[in-house]
Chain A
Amino acid sequence: MSDAMQFYLSTLLIYLFIDVMGVLGLNLQFGVAGIINFAYIVFVAVGAYTAAVVSLGPDFPGNFQHYLFGASWPFPLPILAAGAASGVLSLVVGLISLRRLRSDYQAMVMLVLSLIATLTATNATGLVNGPAGLANVPQPLFDQLGLPPLEYQWVYAIWAGLLTALTFLFVRGITNSPLGRTLRAMRDNDRAAAALGKNITALRLLIFVVGGVIAGISGAVFVEFIQAWSPGSWLYPETFVFLAAIIVGGSANNWGAVVGALLVPVGFLEATRFLPQDFNLFGRHVVLFSGLVDALQWVAVGLLILVFLWFRPQGLFPERPGRFTPRAAIASAGKGE
């Protein structure tokens, strides 16, 4: 395999792992717990910015970019800091918006939050370097490992894969546990769950924070790979790419999330990124204006969501009905006839 092809494939693989992580986090919030988080990408972004500023080193006068809280923490710390920062932000946002609002107001608040976060990051230039964003984020252990770039890329893919596998096991641990059942009960009928003594607000907050931490970590893994991050990378429609992945893959199904991430952000968006900008069609030379493919991609994402909601709202891999034996049945079986 040529080096270029290897670069391409390893990059695609890393993107896939990161997208799977992101989709798993949102699926936990949206699919399993029924929390509407249209600002999910903000938590990814906060994780990415945090990982960037704690590994970029202290800011200095004359630096080409300016940011708050520069530090050069060693390898695993930036990722942990990213998870923590997104988790804390999730807690704050959750405390404000998840309390007693109707779900459509929550959706609205989240959407507005996403817009405002972009606006703030763009305009407050001292915060994370404004519209230009941060660049030259060091790759973790690049110097220590001393590998050639291509081999480093494969190592990074393994590392991202490892984190994704851990995330998958963690999320599956939640969804298969009694907590997962409680969450689904809350999603399907929150009043009934509350009547059975479940603390709905606390559960929502918990899952909101857990999902936020996952989002933050995925952002950190992403920024440490591509080494740059700017407001243009996390505009509010990006959340809908994740959401589309969940709707296509299958809401509340972890394997569905994996397949959705493979199909929508990776298969659909990354694969079309390399469409030719000019080609011959029926003997005529056609030149696409820059941005046309992007625009059509977003149209396609919108259509994909509509088509799936219409024809297959449960997604490719529907949620599996829970297998459980009611206690009454166990008790009566134990007693015999």
Chain B
Amino acid sequence: MSQLVPAIGFGLITASILAIAAVGFTLQFSVTNILNLAYGDVMTASAFAAYIANHAGVDIWLSLLMAALFGAVFSMLLNRFVYFQFVRRGTRLFGMIIVTIAMSLIIQNVLLAVFRPTFFSYEVSASASYTFAGMILTGSQLAIMGIAVVAMVSVHLLSTRTRLGKAMRATATNPGLARSCGVATDRVIDVAWLLSGALCGIAGVVLVLNTATFSEVTGANFLVPIIAAAVLGGIGQPYGAMLGAVTIGLASEVAASVINPSYKDVVAFAILIVVLLVRPQGILSEVASGKEVAA
């Protein structure tokens, strides 16, 4: 029991990071129907962008914003110059997965070649730690949770209260019909990549803030829980991804403290498998299932 309470605290932090990442992942997938397996590597690239800014003397929280900007622009360009080109050439759903994995290999190893195989960390001023009901959390961990809450509320408000959000949901449901109704789907898709990239960038930096060190594979290693959270919530559904993130985050941290820390990701995988076994129809009966690829 004494182990459980701190584990829940860690779980909430993991859930926060996961929520930011998984919502970004699933948002872009729902609008464009491209399963972007280079997502984790864009996270790492953004973390490196923040690292460069941070070590040039920029405050870490400002670096976080710069990483979000970097992630947004990088994702959009990645789509414009690579993914969209392949889609326009007629590469199908499965071909696109290979393209995203090829990009993942390229981004990851270019980072490795540029930054060399070692571990990196940010310069963060030490902050006080706070104790809540037996959970000990540092200032930056509380900030991570705050960022997650703000990000989730923003995504919610954006998709329900703005014309842009409506346009995005319309494009996600039926791109052809949305186009016929006067939605500028090309621009909506650009915005989806920007938004997903910004969340991806934020997730990359907060992930590193929480784990303290990172290398060129940090983001790619985090892809498993992201996918698990997205699939658990029903891929393409932002609210589902939030719920999935909380479940996976709590479950994996509790399991880590009760069983063995190295099996954190195995828990995520087990949940993924169980979801697929128990509710494959929940995943199948998806709005996206019959949809063509819209880059």
Where the two chains meet, the residues of A that have a C-beta atom closer than 8 Å to any C-beta of B are: 34, 36, 38, 96-97, 99-105, 107-109, 111-113, 115-116, 119-120, 122-123, 237, 240, 243, 247, 289-292, 294-299, 301-303, 305-306, 309-310, 313
Q: How far is the CA of A243 from the CA of B273 in the complex (A)?
A: 25
Asked if B161 is an interface residue, CB under 8 A from chain A, the answer is no
* A306-B99 contact in complex given A292-B113, A295-B109, C-beta closer than 8 Å: yes
Shortest B73–chain A CB gap in Å is 21
Number of interface residues, chain B, beta carbon within 8 A:
48
For residue B95, which residues in chain A have a CB less than 8 angstroms away from its CB? 309, 313
Find the A residue at minimum CB distance from B272.
A112
* Top-8 shortest CB links A-B: A302-B105, A302-B106, A123-B262, A298-B109, A305-B102, A295-B112, A302-B102, A295-B109
Q: Give A34 to B94 CA distance when docked, in angstroms.
A: 10
The CA of A290 and the CA of B118, in the complex, are separated in Å by: 11
Assess whether B61 is interfacial by the CB under 8 Å rule.
no
Q: A109-B272, A295-B113 are in contact. Are A302 and B224 (CB under 8 A)?
A: no
A91 to chain B, nearest CB (A): 15
Q: Is B265 in contact with A119, judged by CB distance below 8 angstroms?
A: yes
Pairwise interchain contact A112-B228, C-beta atoms closer than 8 A: yes
A36 cross-chain contacts in B, Cβ below 8 A: 94, 97
Q: Chain B residues near A243 (CB, 8 Å)?
A: 98
CB distance from A309 to the nearest CB of B (A): 6
Q: Are A102 and B284 touching (Cβ within 8 A)?
A: yes
In the bound complex, residues from chain A placing their C-beta under 8 Å from that of B108 are 298
Measured between C-beta atoms, what is the minimum distance from B70 to chain A in Å?
20
CB within 8 Å for A291 and B112 given contacts A104-B93, A112-B272, A309-B98 = yes
A291-B117 contact in complex given A100-B280, A105-B283, A116-B265, C-beta closer than 8 Å: yes
**B18 CB to nearest chain A CB (Å):** 15
B interface, over-half SS: helix
- Considering the chains assembled together, what is the distance between the CA atoms of A36 and B95 in angstroms? 10
Could you tell me the dominant secondary structure of chain A's interface residues? Answer: helix
Closest beta carbon of chain A to B42's beta carbon, Å: 14
Q: A36-B97, A112-B228 are in contact. List 9 more A-B contacts (CB 8 A).
A: A96-B276, A100-B284, A104-B35, A112-B227, A113-B269, A115-B223, A119-B262, A295-B113, A309-B86
A96-B276, A104-B35 are contacts. A237–B86 as well, Cβ < 8 Å?
A: no
In chain B between 1 and 49, which residues have their CB closer than 8 angstroms to a CB of chain A?
35, 37
Contact of A109 with B109 in the complex, beta carbons under 8 Å: no
B180 sits at the interface (CB 8 A): no
Closest to B265 in A: A119
Which residue in B99, B116, B276 is a CB contact (below 8 Å) of A101? B276
CB contact under 8 A between A299 and B284, given known A96-B277, A104-B97: no
B 78-98 to A, binary, CB cutoff 8 A, 1 in contact else 0:
000010011001010111011
A115 proximity list for chain B (CB < 8 A) = 221, 223-224, 265, 269
Chain B residues with CB under 8 A of A247? 98
Among the listed B35, B224, B231, which residue makes an inter-chain contact with A116, where contact means beta carbons less than 8 Å apart? B224
Which of B37, B82, B105, B266 gathers most chain A CB within 10 Å?
B105
In the complex with contacts A309-B86, A309-B99, A111-B284 CB distance below 8 A: no
Q: Does B149 contact A (CB under 8 A)?
A: no
Instruction: For B97, list chain A residues within 8 Å (CB).
Output: 36, 104, 107
- In the bound complex, CA of A96 to CA of B270 (Å): 12
**CB within 8 Å for A299 and B105 given contacts A36-B94, A101-B284:** yes
Q: Is the CB of A101 within 8 A of B280?
A: yes
Within 8 Å of chain A (Cβ to Cβ): is B103? Answer: yes
| Residues of B close to A107: CB separation below 8 A | 35, 94, 97
Q: CA separation between A104 and B262, bound complex, in Å?
A: 28
Looking at the assembled complex, report how far the CB atom of A90 sits from the nearest CB atom of chain B, in whole angstroms: 16
Nearest CB of chain B from residue A32's CB, rounded to whole Å: 14
In the complex, what distance in Å separates the CA atom of A36 from the CA atom of B37? 15
- Chain A nearest CB from B240 CB (Å) reads 14
Residues of chain A contacted by B284 (CB below 8 angstroms): 100-102
Cα distance A313–B95 in the bound complex, in angstroms: 9
Sample 28 A-B pairs with CB under 8 A, ordered by A number.
A36-B97, A96-B273, A96-B276, A100-B284, A104-B97, A105-B231, A105-B235, A107-B97, A108-B35, A108-B227, A111-B37, A112-B224, A113-B269, A119-B265, A123-B262, A240-B101, A290-B117, A295-B112, A296-B109, A298-B105, A299-B105, A301-B105, A302-B103, A302-B105, A302-B109, A305-B98, A305-B99, A306-B102
B276 touching A97 by the CB < 8 A rule? yes
On whether the beta carbons of A102 and B289 are closer than 8 Å, the reply is yes
**Shortest distance from the beta carbon of A308 to any chain B beta carbon, whole Å:** 10
Docked-complex contact B93 and A103, CB < 8 angstroms: yes
Assess whether B127 is interfacial by the CB under 8 Å rule.
no
